[in-house]
């Protein structure tokens, strides 16, 4: 009847649920009985005790009111007595309607009689107070009122003790009921736990033994033993599952026999290619543990692949900058990123680290490939080139200075009679020499900036003053060309921290470029604006613009814009100097341009407070 596994489990489940239901019903019955006992304890006797306590307080205040009436303030005493009389009667009604104990009704009736007489006696006291001497009134208080007051307090005390004892008895009765309920539920629970455990162990073993047998077979398949056969005769879904498992393992075994040779050959081929790569290479898992190290990596870092397999990369290569680069790529949305890192391995070696993240079809990371391209020779060549530029610039500077001094003497002396053509030639030589001097200065500055030898005299300065000075410097040149040079900066820009001379140089280069490529009637705008974190400078012209293919490279050295009818007016050093200066100040520079619509050069400089610099 119950051949399927689910029906058998359902029977056990229903039995356990029934057992839980029995425990629940028994617990509910005992809790309801306990709740009734507690409710009686709290709602009956506690209510009476509360009313009696209030009546005690009220009658004591009335006695104080009588004394006030006799000795201090007659009107105030009468007022207090009347107020407390009303309060006493309210609590008396509560007590009278909550009589629960034997002899409690007699005490309540006696209390009502005594309190009534107490009030009448006080009325009598008022007559004596108004008609006789004060000594008579005080004597009456001591003999009559005080006696009646004591009788009332005695009755209230008896009522209090009566309800308190009853409350204690109810509490004991409730505790007994609670203890009995606890023992009953505990015994029933222990029986249920023991029975349920025995039943679950029996049925679990009976139901799960075939599944365990099947699980062991799957584990053997996982370890590579594909030729598995499991025989299960339970007549349920597990038997059907074992049949499907046997069919699957048979087909896998046949497939393995036919394809294992091909797969192993391809794997060995791929592994041989990776191992033979000339640059160091590592393959990591998602937890940065090493999966593979090629021969070049083993040789350069003096590590052994067998020793460091499945160990963290920092155990093999203890370079924090390398690990930070790898982890940054993994944590970002990029699948590949490059960075140049220097390794001090006796001599300084420079590697271009290419980190590639390999993802599965669901987007999760399966492997991380780290390729290290050795660019030490390129770095050395770059250093030689930089040194050469610096040296040749120095060599050019000395004769240039002599030429400029000679031309200056020739152009300023009156002793030499020169005709107009000769003066034009001298002026041309002077302009070309000044241009060549400017070029040499830019080459020297660029080489210093790139080599880190440039001297920065940083301090707090006003960017408004820098912009005003730069515009003023080029105003005469702009007027001569018929170009409007306009300052649209915000007033009261924040104070910046840096080398104001170097920033002035960068801004001058941008303004000079814009004026150079502008025609008569054009406008060059120079302006700046600020927010909480940075100041942004703009130099905007309406010149010929820059083709889109040059916009990203315009700040590289010796890049010249060609085509589109643009006349080349320099060798491409000025913007490289601007880039290096801005970079040294922690900022960035870029260009937005469109052919025939002009160009806008933008510099962003960060704001620093004195607290930031101290940190």
User: Which two structure tokens, joined as six digits, stand for 326?
Assistant: 């790898």
Angle 52-56-59 (CA atoms, 0-180°, nearest 5)? 130
**pLDDT by residue (tens digit) across 126-180?**
888 888 887 888 888 888 888 888 888 898 888 888 888 888 887 777 777 777 7
What is this structure's pTM? Answer: 0.39
Q: Does domain 457-614 have CATH number 3.30.565.10?
A: yes
Cβ count within 10 A of residue 499: 18
What is the domain partition of the chain in residue ranges?
5-200, 277-374, 380-450, 457-614
> CA of 180: how far to CAs of 26, 31, 33, 185, 476, in Å?
12, 11, 11, 9, 108
Quick one: pLDDT at residue 434? Answer: 63
505-508 CB contacts, 8 Å cutoff, 24+ apart: 505/445, 505/577, 505/581, 506/577, 506/578, 506/581, 506/582, 506/589, 506/603, 507/466, 507/467, 507/470, 507/537, 507/539, 507/603, 508/470, 508/473, 508/474
Query: How far is 275 from 261, CA to CA, in rounded Å?
Result: 21
At residue 365 the predicted structure's pLDDT band, cuts being 50, 70 and 90, is: confident
CA 493 from chain centre, in angstroms, equals 33
**pLDDT by residue (tens digit) across 245-282?**
777 777 776 666 665 555 555 666 666 676 678 788 88
pLDDT at 568 over 70: no
Fold of 5-200: 1.20.120
Query: How far is 239 from 62, CA to CA, in rounded Å?
Result: 92
CA 308 from chain centre, in angstroms, equals 34
Quick one: pLDDT at residue 201? Answer: 72
CA dihedral of 265, 270, 275, 277, whole degrees rounded to 10: 140
pLDDT at 615 over 60: no
Q: Which of 117, 102, 94 is nearest to 43 (CA)?
A: 94
590-593 CB contacts, 8 Å cutoff, 24+ apart: 590/555, 591/546, 591/551, 591/554, 591/555, 592/551, 593/545, 593/546, 593/551
Quick one: pLDDT at residue 72? Answer: 85
Residue 493 DSSP one-character state = P
Fold of 380-450: Helix Hairpins (1.10.287)
Query: How far is 217 from 241, CA to CA, in rounded Å?
Result: 12
DSSP string, 20-63: HHHHHHHHHHHHHHHHHHHHHIIIIIHHHHHHHHHHHHHHHHHH
Quick one: pLDDT at residue 392? Answer: 60
**pLDDT by residue (tens digit) across 13-59?**
677 677 677 777 766 766 666 555 555 555 667 888 888 889 899 98
Starting at the edge strand found earlier in the chain, the sheet holding 534-540 runs: 484-487, 523-530, 534-540, 598-606, 588-594
- What homologous superfamily does CATH list for 277-374? PAS domain (3.30.450.20)
Residues 581-600: what's their mean pLDDT?
88
The b/e string for 64-85 (b: 16+ C-beta within 10 A; e otherwise) is: ebbebbbeeeeeebbebbeebb
Q: Which of 3-7, 200-204, 270-274 has the lowest mean pLDDT?
A: 3-7
């Amino acid at each position: 009847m119950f051949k399927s596994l689910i029906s058998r489990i359902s029977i056990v489940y229903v039995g356990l649920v029934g057992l839980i239901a029995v425990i629940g019903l028994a617990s509910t019955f005992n809790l309801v009985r306990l709740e009734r006992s507690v409710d009686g304890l709290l709602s009956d006797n506690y209510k009476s005790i509360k009313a009696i306590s209030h009546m005690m307080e009220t009658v004591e205040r009335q006695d104080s009111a009588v004394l006030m009436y006799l000795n201090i303030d007659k009107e105030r005493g009468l007022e207090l007595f009347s107020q407390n009389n009303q309060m006493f009667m309210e609590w008396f009604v509560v007590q009278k309607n909550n009589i629960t104990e034997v002899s409690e009704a007699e005490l309540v009736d006696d209390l009502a009689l005594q309190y009534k007489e107490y009030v009448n006696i006080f009325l009598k006291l008022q007559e004596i107070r108004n008609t006789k001497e004060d000594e008579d009134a005080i004597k009456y208080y001591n003999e009559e009122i005080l006696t009646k007051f004591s009788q009332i307090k005695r009755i209230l005390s008896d009522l209090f003790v009566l309800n308190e004892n009853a409350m204690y008895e109810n509490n004991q009765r409730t505790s007994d009921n609670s203890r009995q309920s606890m023992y009953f539920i505990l015994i029933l629970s222990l029986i249920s736990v023991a029975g349920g455990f025995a039943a679950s162990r029996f049925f679990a073993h009976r139901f799960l033994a075939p599944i365990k047998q099947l699980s062991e077979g799957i584990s053997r398949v996982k370890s590579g033993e594909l030729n598995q056969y499991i025989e299960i005769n339970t007549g349920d879904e597990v038997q059907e599952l074992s049949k499907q498992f046997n069919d699957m393992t048979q087909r896998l075994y046949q497939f393995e026999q036919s394809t294992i040779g091909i797969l192993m050959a391809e794997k060995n081929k791929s592994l041989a290619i990776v191992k033979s790569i000339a640059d160091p290479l590592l393959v990591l898992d998602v937890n940065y543990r090493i999966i593979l190290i090629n021969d070049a990596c083993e040789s350069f870092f003096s590590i052994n692949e067998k020793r460091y397999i499945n160990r963290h990369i920092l155990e093999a290569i203890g370079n924090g900058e390398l690990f930070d680069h790898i982890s940054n790529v993994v944590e970002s949305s990029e699948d590949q990123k490059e960075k140049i890192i220097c390794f001090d391995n006796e001599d300084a070696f420079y590697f271009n680290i290419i980190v590639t993240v390999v993802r599965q079809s669901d987007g999760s990371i399966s492997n991380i490939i780290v390729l290290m391209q050795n660019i030490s020779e390129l770095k050395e060549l770059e250093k030689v080139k930089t040194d050469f530029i610096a040296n040749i610039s120095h060599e050019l500077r000395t004769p240039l200075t002599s030429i400029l001094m000679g031309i200056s003497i020739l152009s300023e002396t009156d002793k030499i009679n020169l005709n107009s053509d000769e003066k034009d030639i001298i002026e041309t030589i002077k302009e070309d020499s000044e241009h060549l001097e400017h070029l040499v200065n830019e080459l020297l500055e660029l080489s210093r900036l790139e080599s880190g030898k440039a001297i920065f005299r940083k301090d707090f300065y006003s960017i408004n003053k820098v912009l005003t000075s730069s515009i003023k410097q080029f105003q005469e040149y702009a007027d001569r060309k018929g170009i409007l040079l306009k300052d649209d900066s915000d007033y009261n820009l924040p104070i910046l921290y840096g080398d104001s001379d170097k920033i002035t140089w960068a801004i001058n280069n941008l303004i000079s470029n814009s004026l150079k490529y502008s025609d008569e009637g054009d406008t060059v705008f120079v302006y700046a604006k600020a927010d909480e974190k940075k100041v942004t400078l703009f130099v905007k012209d309406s010149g010929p613009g820059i083709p889109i293919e040059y916009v990203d490279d315009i700040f590289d050295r010796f890049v010249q814009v060609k085509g589109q009818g643009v006349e080349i007016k320099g060798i491409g050093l000025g913007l490289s100097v601007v880039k290096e200066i801005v970079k040294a100040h922690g900022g960035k520079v870029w260009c937005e341009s469109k052919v025939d619509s002009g160009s806008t050069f933008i510099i962003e400089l960060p704001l620093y407070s004195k607290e930031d610099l101290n940190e």
